[in-house]
Amino acid sequence: MEPEAGPFPLPLSPPYLTTLHRLGFVVNTFTWAQAVECLSHPEWSFVHVVTIALVAFTLVGLALAVRRDRQELHLVEALMAAQHRQSGRLCEAMAGHHGLL
């Protein structure tokens, strides 16, 4: 069944909708020869170039974010270690002042 004619045809009939849904689950596969042929002479469109650029920018951004987070984690660990050492000295000083040592 075909959609009704008009400026914006809508697939309203149940058999047509069923056909569309069934076709949505069809998996088209490549043979190894087709894949090699496709990869040996790629035809890049603007959409492919934009998609590759967005993926590249995302990966670079992710790598930079991981590097920044590691640096920040090392800083926080150093601050926590310094605070722990300082609080240990403070406890020792207070214990010595009150004659507990």
pTM of the model: 0.48
Q: Domain check: are 54 and 101 in the same one?
A: yes
| pLDDT tens digits, 29-39 | 888 888 888 88
CA distances to 49, 63, 75 from 42, rounded to whole Å, are 12, 28, 47
Question: Domain range holding 10?
Answer: 1-42
Around Cβ 3, how many Cβ atoms within 10 Å?
A: 14
Q: Per the structure, how many domains does the chain have?
A: 2
pLDDT of 18 > 80? The answer is yes
Q: Domain check: are 36 and 73 in the same one?
A: no
Q: Domain check: are 76 and 98 in the same one?
A: yes
Q: Domain check: are 26 and 58 in the same one?
A: no
Q: Domain check: are 28 and 18 in the same one?
A: yes
Q: Domain check: are 51 and 83 in the same one?
A: yes
Q: Domain check: are 14 and 59 in the same one?
A: no
